[in-house]
Structure 1
Amino acid sequence: MIFDRIFFLFIFLLFIPLAIYLPNPGGIGLALPFNLLVYGGGALLMGICWRATPLRRVVITPTCRAIIAVCLLLVLPVIFTRPEWQSTAIWRLAGLCAGAAFYFTWLQVRMTARQRHAVLYVILSAAAVQALIVLLQLFAPAIAQSWIPSGNPRAFGMFQQPNVLASFIATGLALAQAAFVLPGFHLLNPRAECWRRRALAVVLLLLPMVLVWVQSRTGWLAGALVLGLFVLCFCRRYPQVIAIASLLMAGGTLVGVLVLWWGSELGGALRYASHAGSNHARYTMLRDTLAMIAEKPLLGWGYGGFEYSFQHFRINQTPPTAVTEIARHPHNELLLWWVEGGVVALLGMLLLVWAGIKLLARARWHDKRTFACGKASAGEALALCVALLPITLHSQTEYPFYLSALHWLVFLLLLAMLDRLVGPRLGAGCGLKPWRLPMLALSLAALFVMATGFYSARVLTQAERGGLQDMRQVEALPGWASWMHDDRLQFDRQLAGLLAFNRTRDEQRLETYAQWAQRYLNHRIDKNVYANLLVILYQQQQYVRADELRYEAALLFPHDRRFARSTF
C-alpha cells in the first residue's frame, strides 16, 4: 500500500475521540461510546487502506503467522462455555480477531521513514493533549468540569481511569524520547529542527510531571523502565543527547514530586492517593485466580464467565473469602485467558509471548546491522519495542484493552510498524487481490456495527439519564440497531417495568422481573438486582429460594445492610 495524505488524515481521525466527552454509564468495552467511536475510526481506516491498495505482494511475517495461529487456538475453548456466557465470550473473541485483521491491514501499508515518523508524532501529540487535559483537571477544575464532568478527585484525562491514562502517557514519553534522541527523526531545515527539538524538550518535561501527578504505580514503573531502557540501548552511541533527555525527564519528575508533596501538605488540589487497599485486593485476586486454575487446569471455567465464577468461587471456599469488590477481570490478561480457557488458551498465550520474544530479538539484530551500515532508521526498532512496553506492562496489571479501544489500536499500530520494519517477508508468492474484497467487506460491516451500536447506546443513555420514565425511543429501537447492547437493553426494560409496578400494581411485572433477574444473576453480579429480586421473592412467599439468595448476596456484599437477615 502507498501511505499518502488520505491514510494520514484517517489516522488523525482515529484520535479525534480523545477530545470528545460523551455521557456514558461507565463499564468496559462497547458500553463506552468512546470505544465505539475509536473502533469505528479503526474500521474506517481499514476500509480506506484496502480501497487504495495497489495489487502488490501480500506481506506475511513470522509474527503475523503466529498471531493467526494464536487466534485459532484461543477460539477453540468457546465451544465448552456455558450458554449464558457465550455472548460475552463471542464479543471478546470478535475483538481479538478484529484486532488481528487491523494488524494485518497495517502490516501491508508501505511507508517511508518520514511517513512512519508522522504516525508516531500523531500518537505523541495525542498523549500531549491528554497531559494538557490533566493540567486543566488539576489546576482549572471549573473549566475541566464544563468539558469532562466527573466526581473523581484524581485526574484521568479522557479515559475515565487514571491507570489507563498513565500507560498512554508513558507510551507518548517513549515516542518523545525516540524523536529527541535518534538522528533519523531530524529535519533538514535547521530552523524547523530547532523548533522541533524545543517542542520535544517541553514534552519531555511535561509528560513525566503529569505521570507523577496521575499517581499510577504501573505508570510510574513504565516511565522508569522507558527512561532506563533508552539509556541502556543508546547511551554509548548518543551520550550527549541521552544525557539531555534524561535531565529533562528527571527535572519534570522532580517538579512533579515537589508539587505533589506541597499539595498534600497544604491541602491543595493534588494529594497523595494511598494504594494500601489496592495492594491487598491485587494479592487476594492473584491468589484466588491461581487457586481456580489449579482446580480446573485443563478446560478452565468457561469463556465469558469470570465475573460469575470468580465471585462464587470465593464465597464457596471454606471459610469464604471476604469480597471487597466485584471483579470482572483478574487484572492480568494472560491469567484471564488461562483461567477461562484452560490449557488450550494457555498454549495460545505462550505462543504469543514466544512470538514477542523472537520479534524483540529480530529488532535487536536489525538495529545492530543498521547502526553498522549507518542507516537513518538505526535505533527505531528498539525504540518501538520500548514504546510497546507501557501498554504491555499495563495489560499484566489491569485490563487496558477493555477500558480503552485506543490502547488496543495503538498497540497494534506500533506492533505492525515494528514487524514491518524488522520481520522477514514470508508471503512473496501471493498477491493482495484475493484479500481486497473480503477485507473491504469486513471493514464496512465493522463500521456499520459500530455506528448502529453508537446510536443505540446514545438512546439508552438518554433514557437512563431521564430515570427510565420515557421508554418510547428505547422501545422504538429496531432489533438490528440494539442487538449489541441487548443485555443493557433488557436491564433497562425490566427496571422500567419495576418502576411502572409502583404505579399500576400489575403483579405480572414482578413475575417478569423475577424470571429475568434469576437468568441475569447467572452471568452478572449486581447488588441492586439481588435486592429487588429478594423483595419480590419474599412478597411471593418463596422463602426457601429467597433465603438462599439472601445468604449468597450477604457474602458477595458484606457491607450492604439490605441483605442482613433482620431486613426481611
Structure 2
Amino acid sequence: MMNVLNRIAPLPAQKLLLGISLFFWCGTMHLYWQNNGGSGLSLPLNIMSWIYAVVLAAGASVLVPRQRWRITVPATGFTMGALILTLLCLLTPGVWQFEALLVAGALLGGVIVYLVAVQIPLAARSLTALLALLWGASAIECLAFVYQYWHLPGVEYWEFAWRRGTRPYGIFQQVNLLASFTACGVLLSVPLFLRLRDGYRIVIGMGLVLMGFVLHESQSQTGYLSVAVGEALLLLVFPAQRRTLLLLLLPLALGMATGAAARHFLSVATVDHLTTSHVRWTVLKTSLALFAERPWTGWGVGSFAAVFLERAGPLGLSSISHPHNELVLWLVEGGLVGLAGGLCFIASGFWLWLRGNRWRRACLVAALPVVIHMLTEYPVRQSTPHWLLLILLLRCADSPLKGVCMTLTSTSLIRGLALISFLVFTPLLLLSLRTQQQLTLAERQSAQWRLAEQLPVGGWLLATRYRFDVQMGYLQRYQRTRDARWLEAVRRWAPDYVRIHPDPNVSFTQILLALQQRDQVEAHRLAMRFYQAYPNDRRIPWLQDARRPFNQNME
C-alpha cells in the first residue's frame, strides 16, 4: 500500500493532501450528526469540513518547501476578490457585524486553502488520485440517496422520514445541494474515464448509472442544467474523444430511465417548478430595486433578509434570506464594490480556462455545477463541502509553474496565518461541534432553560443560535415560575434579533409578551407590523379577532 502511495504521491505534501482528503471526502464527510437543520455552522457537516480545511492548510504549509512557494495570476485574482469582500464585511453596520465576520472568515479561509494548495505539485498520478477521491465522495452520497429512496432498514440513521413527496438528500439535508454535488461527480467521470483503464472504467460506468438515477429522482433543475451545460463543454474540450463521451451518456441515460420507472411504480410525486420560478423572478426584481437605492456599498453584509422583508413582506415573500443568486446578493449587500469583488473571482476563472490545457479545462467544467448552484440557489459558503470542492477543482485547473515566486515576507505571512488558524480554530471548531450537539439535544427536549446564560467558548461561532436558545429558556423558566423578569428579558432581546433574523414566531411572541404585560399600545403597533410583514401567516385571524384587547382599545 505504501509503495502505491509513494508512486502516486512521492512528496510529503502530496501524501498529506491525498491522505487527509481520503479521510474526509470518502469517510468523515458522510457521517451523520444530529442537528435541527439550518445552514452554516449550525450543521455539523460544515464544522467538520472546516476542520479538514484548517488541518490541510496548516499541514501543507509546513511540508511544502519554502523555495517552492509561488503565486499564480488566478490566485492573485481570488485573493484580491476576497480582500475586497472582506473590507465590505468590516464596514458593515454593527447590527449585522457578527454575520458579516462569519462571511469574511469563510472567504479568507477558502483563499488561504487555495494559496497553500497551489504550492502542492500535482503530477499526473496525484491529480488523477485527487479527482478520483472527489468522484468517490459523489458516488458515496448517491448510494446514501438510494438507501433513503428505497427506505431500507437503518434509514433512521439519517433521521430521514419517508413520506410521499419527500426527496432524499443524502448527508446534505437539502436536495439541490445533493444534485449539484452529484452533477460534479458526473462531469468528473469523463476525465477519469479517459485517464484510467480496464476495471476502473467499469466502475465509472456503474457510477454513472447510479448518478443518473439520483439526478432524475432528485428532480432538481440545478442538477439538470449543470449536467447539460457541462457535457456540452466537455464535448468542446475533448473533440477527438466525442464518440467516447457520447457513449458515456448511455449509462447516465440508463440510470435516469431506471429512476423514471421507479417513480412510476412507487407513485412518488413530481415537483412543480413553475411556482418557484415565479417567486424567483419576483425576488430578483425586488433585489435589483434594493440595489438601485444603495448602488455603491450596498445595505451591509448580512442585511438581505431584513431589508428584503421590509419591501417584499406585503407581497407574501416573508421568509426569503437570500436572492438565490450570489452575485445579486453581493449587489444588494455590497453594491458595486461587492460586484467588483465577485468579478475578480469570475475573471480568475476565465483566465484559468483561457490558459489551461484540456485536462485543466475539464477540472473547471467539473466545478461548474457548484458555480451554477451559486447562481440559482444559495451562497456557496453556506455549504462548506461545496465551497471546498470548488476550491480544490480550481486548484486542479491551476498551474503553479506559471506563477511567480512570492517574497519571503508573503510566504512567511501565509504560513503564519495557516498555522495560527490551525492552533486557534481547530480546538474552537471542535468545541463548536460539541456545543452544537448540546444545543440540538436541548432544543429537542425543550430543555433550553438548562443552558448557561454566559456564552461559552464553544458558542462563539454559534452566538446567534446560542443566545436564541437562552431566550427560549427564559420563556420556559417563566412557565415554571411565573416570574415576570424572564419575560422582560425576552422582550428586551427580541427587537434586535428580528432586525437581523426576521422570524414570524419571534415577532408573534413579541405581541404576546406585550399583551401579557398589558401594554396595549405596543401590542397594537407590533400587530400592525406583523400584518404587513407576514400577510399570509395563519395566526393573523387570531390577531384580528375583535375580542383582542388591543383591537378594542384602538378602534
> What is the 5 A alignment of 1:394-409?
394-399=373-378, 401-409=380-388
1:28 pairs, out of 39, 50, 58, with 39
SS at match of 1:127: helix
Distance 1:307 1:433, change over 3 A: closer
Amino acid in the other structure paired with 1:129: I
Q: TM-score, normalised by structure 1?
A: 0.89
CA pair 429-403 structure 1, distance change in 2 beyond 3 A: closer
1:477, distance to aligned residue in structure 2 (A): 7.3
Distance 1:313 1:251, change over 3 A: same
- 1:341 to 2:334 alignment: yes
Instruction: Quote the Cα distance in structure 1 between the aligned partners of 2:147 and 2:33.
Output: 18
Question: Is the contact between residue 14 and residue 42 of structure 1 (CA under 8 Å) also seen in structure 2?
Answer: no
Q: Please tell me whether residue 168 in structure 1 is matched to residue 146 in structure 2.
A: no
Find the counterpart in structure 2 of residue 321 from structure 1: 315
Distance 1:398 1:330 in 2: 8
Q: Which of the residues 539, 545, 548 maps onto 2:522?
A: 545
Question: Of 214, 226, 248, which aligns to 2:218?
Answer: 214
Whether the 8 Å contact between 1:103 and 1:416 is mirrored in structure 2 is yes
1:247 maps onto 2:241 in alignment: no
Report the counterpart of residue 87 of structure 1 in structure 2. Answer: 98
Q: Does structure 1 residue 159 correspond to structure 2 residue 172?
A: yes
1:44 aligns with 2:42: no
Aligned to 1:370: none
Q: Which residue of 2 aligns with 1:125?
A: 136
Q: Residue by residue, what CA displacement relative to the aligned partner does 1:144-191 show, whole Å, maximum 9, x if unpaired?
A: 2244434671111110000000000000111111111x2xx23xxxxx
Instruction: Kindly provide the amino acid, as one letter, of the partner of residue 41 in structure 2.
Output: L
CA-to-aligned-CA distance 1:198-257 (integer Å, 9 cap, x gap): 1111112221221011100010111112222222332x3124422321222233333333
Letter in 2 for 1:120: L
The residue that corresponds to 2:404 in the other structure is 426
Q: Tell me what 1:374 maps to.
A: none
* C-alpha distance in 1 between matches for 2:396 and 2:259: 33
| In structure 2, C-alpha distance between the alignment counterparts of 1:545 and 1:81, rounded to whole Å | 30
Q: CA deviation at 1:476?
A: 8.3
Which residue matches 1:525? 502
Helix, strand or coil: the match of 1:22?
coil
**Aligned residue pair count:** 531
Query: CA contact under 8 A between 1:460 and 1:489: conserved in structure 2?
Result: yes
The match for 2:291 is 293
C-alpha deviation, 1:388, in angstroms: 1.1
Kindly tell me: are residues 5 and 80 of structure 1, through their superposed partners in 2, closer, same or farther at Cα, counting changes over 3 Å? closer
Q: Does 1:77 align with 2:113?
A: no
TM-score for the superposition, normalised by structure 2: 0.91
Does 1:12 find its partner at 2:15? no
Is the contact made by 2:475 and 2:490 (CA closer than 8 Å) also made in structure 1?
yes
The question of whether the paired residues in 1 share the 8 Å contact of 2:216 and 2:260 is answered with yes
* Residue aligning to 2:119: 108
* Residue of structure 2 equivalent to 1:417: 396
Counterpart residue number, 1:359: 352
Percent of aligned pairs with the same amino acid: 30
Q: Say if 1:59 and 1:426, in contact at 8 Å, map to a contact too.
A: yes
From the superposition, tell whether residues 146 and 358 of structure 1 become closer, same or farther in structure 2 (CA, over 3 Å). Answer: closer
Q: Distance in 2 between matches of 1:511 and 1:477?
A: 18
- C-alpha RMSD of the superposition: 2.1
Contact 1:177 1:204 in 2 (8 A): no
Q: How does 1:172-211 map to 2 (within 5 A)?
A: 172-180=185-193, 182=194, 185-186=195-196, 193-211=197-215
**Could you report, residue by residue, the CA deviation over 1:88-144 in whole angstroms, capped at 9, with x for unpaired residues?**
011111111111101111111112211111111111011001111111111134432
Letter in 2 for 1:9: G
State the SS of the aligned residue for 2:376: coil
SS in 1 for 2:341: helix
Unaligned runs of 5+ in 2: 1-10, 549-555
One-letter amino acid of the structure 2 residue matched with residue 221 of structure 1: L
CA distance in 1, matches of 2:342, 2:172: 27
Structure 1 contact 88–304 (Cα < 8 Å) conserved: yes
Once the two structures are overlaid, the 10-residue window that deviates more, 115-124 or 54-63, is 54-63
What's the offset of the Cα at 1:285? 0.7
The CA distance in 2 between the partners of 1:29 and 1:411, in whole Å, is 17
* DSSP-derived class of the 1:285 partner: helix
The within-5 A match list for 1:50-69 is 50-69=61-80
| Partner of residue 493 from structure 1, selected from 464, 467, 470 | 470
Q: Which moved more, 1:333-342 or 1:240-249?
A: 240-249
More moved, 353-362 vs 328-337: 353-362
Q: For the Cα contact (< 8 Å) 2:455–2:466, is it kept in 1?
A: no
Alignment partners' CA distance in 1, 2:205 and 2:424: 43
Aligned-pair CA distance for 1:382:
1.7
